[in-house]
Amino acid sequence: MKRINNSVVALSLFMGMAAVSAQEKKQLTLDEAVQLGIQNSKNLKIDAAKIEEATADLLEAKNRQLPELKVSGSYMYLPTKPTVDLKISTGSGAAGGPEVHQVAYGSVNLSVPIYSGGKIKYGIQSAKYLVEASKLSTENDKIAIAYNVAQAYNNLFKANQSIKVLEENLTASQKRDETFLKLENNGVIARNDRLKANLQTSNIELQLLEAKNNYNIANINMDLLLGIPETTEIEVDQNYIEEGSEVKAVDYYVNEAKENRKDLQALAQQRKAAELGTKSAKAENLPSIAFTGGYVAADIPKFLTVYNAVNVGVGVSYNLSNIWKENSSLRQSQAREKQLAANDELLNDNIKLDVNREYQNTDYSKKRIAVYEKAAEQANENYRITKNKYDNGLATMTELLDADAAQISSNVGVINAKADAALAYRKLLQTTGTLTIK
């Protein structure tokens, strides 16, 4: 039985050590977290594939201006004797034709485009604009990811700081419970007062449990965003909330957004591509001209041999059905232009709204810090005074506990207000397209 108990203890120790080793700790600044988030983003991998697709479309468009060279050949065996009736005289008096059992021929054809109504040129330029639009969309997604990581980092920071404040207050509350128990045993305070203090301690314990639960969820969310094992415990930089700078006038940020928003720039590239698409659609009504050349060789044993049959010339192609058919491609392209123009107007309106809203939120967040700091200062002083009164029998237990709860709430509020202000400023920078990615 003793051996079994020893084995159980050893196994428990081993599992405990394994759990500790599995929980890796990683200290990250916000900039380092943003870099990891961008590096491992699934969305950016999709964007990279879209850029490759657009680049392939550009290559295809460029290939259309290159010469077409086609080679073909064939060999056929004829198991039965074909009937050959030559309509020209062969100069031979022999009856019947030659026996043909096999045929071999080959040809080489060259076509070099000379004029296609501008479709090739417009296609290449349009493809270039779409490649650039894909790259700009990727940059816009990077900025969005940078903010999402900052938001997750902010939540992790707030949860971590709340845990620290609550742990400090729980320790103080537990010591107070021990003191009140001794006072109750000595008949100094009533049992009811001691139970009120115990209830306050239990409430702090519940708040601490909730804070730790929020921290664990925020930590897992952060791990997934950064593409690292979800068992990694991230240690945030305590100086994060001190980042930021003086907020300028709102017009400054609106102008910054017009110049730097990548989604606005991407839409501009798409509009250029659509304009060229309209020109290319109009070119469908024009003829195509190409330089042509070829070589043909044939061999039919005992009957015909052809070689050095070289031909050169100019080919003209025109689809006569364009005369009575409506150019649907042109209409589609023009409709696409109208859609993009409307999207551009809508995006500009949304940018103005976003910038003004986040500017107000940033200003509001900064003002909240001053209010919370003042409230915390008042709550701390109130607790000091109430504690002094209580020690001298001039305040009730309820007043003391209320003052303590207000003090905890105010101190946590200051930390959260500073963190929210730092995040609000980053959101403002995101709406202007100037959120830096180091």
> In the prediction, which pLDDT does 13 show?
40
pLDDT bin (cut points 50, 70, 90) of residue 86 is low
- For residue 378, pLDDT over 50 is answered with yes
The mean pLDDT value for 359-370 works out to 92
The mean pLDDT value for 296-311 works out to 84
Here the tokens at position 316 are: 């003209």
- For residue 93, pLDDT over 60 is answered with no
- The Cα–Cα gap between 55 and 328 comes to 27
**Measuring CA to CA, how many Å separate 151 from each of 48, 69, 412?**
24, 57, 18
Stated pTM of the model:
0.78
122, 413 Cβ separation under 8 angstroms: no
> In the prediction, which pLDDT does 11 show?
44
pLDDT bin (cut points 50, 70, 90) of residue 269 is very high
The mean pLDDT value for 389-399 works out to 83
The mean pLDDT value for 230-238 works out to 86
The mean pLDDT value for 397-413 works out to 85
Q: What's the whole-number average pLDDT of the chain?
A: 85
The mean pLDDT value for 142-164 works out to 90
pLDDT bin (cut points 50, 70, 90) of residue 342 is very high
Q: Which residue has the higher pLDDT, 209 or 115?
A: 209
pLDDT bin (cut points 50, 70, 90) of residue 343 is very high
> In the prediction, which pLDDT does 55 show?
93
- The neighbour count for residue 179, using CB atoms within 10 Å, is 12
Measured at the alpha carbon of residue 422, what is the angle toward residues 421 and 423, in degrees to the nearest 5?
Answer: 90
428: nearest Cα among 378, 362, 347:
362
Its sign, for the CA torsion 339, 342, 348, 351, is negative
What CATH homologous superfamily does 27-67+116-282+334-432 map to? Outer membrane efflux proteins (OEP) (1.20.1600.10)
> In the prediction, which pLDDT does 262 show?
94
- For residue 404, pLDDT over 60 is answered with yes
> In the prediction, which pLDDT does 14 show?
45
* Share of residues in the chain with pLDDT > 70 (%): 90
The mean pLDDT value for 143-164 works out to 89
Least confident of 238-252, 257-271, 281-295, 337-351: 238-252
> In the prediction, which pLDDT does 326 show?
83
Q: Which residue has the higher pLDDT, 396 or 97?
A: 396
432: nearest Cα among 358, 328, 365, 325:
358
Which H, E and C letters describe 174-234, residue by residue? HHHHHHHHHHHHCCCCCHHHHHHHHHHHHHHHHHHHHHHHHHHHHHHHHHHHHCCCCCCEE
- Note the pLDDT tens digit of each residue in 310-333: 889 898 888 888 778 888 888 999
Question: What CA dihedral angle connects 2, 6, 12 and 17, to 10 degrees?
Answer: 170
The mean pLDDT value for 216-221 works out to 91
Helix (H/G/I), strand (E/B), else coil: 286: coil
- The neighbour count for residue 37, using CB atoms within 10 Å, is 24
The mean pLDDT value for 34-39 works out to 90
Place of tokens 């604009």: 129
AA identity, residue 254: V
Length of the chain measured in residues: 438
- For residue 4, pLDDT over 70 is answered with no
382, 401 Cβ separation under 8 angstroms: no
299, 105 Cβ separation under 8 angstroms: yes
**Measuring CA to CA, how many Å separate 86 from each of 92, 96, 101, 406, 434?**
12, 10, 17, 114, 83
CA 279 to chain centre: 33
> In the prediction, which pLDDT does 268 show?
95
> In the prediction, which pLDDT does 88 show?
65
Measured at the alpha carbon of residue 408, what is the angle toward residues 405 and 409, in degrees to the nearest 5?
Answer: 85
Question: DSSP for 119-158?
Answer: HHHHHHHHHHHHHHHHHHHHHHHHHHHHHHHHHHHHHHHH
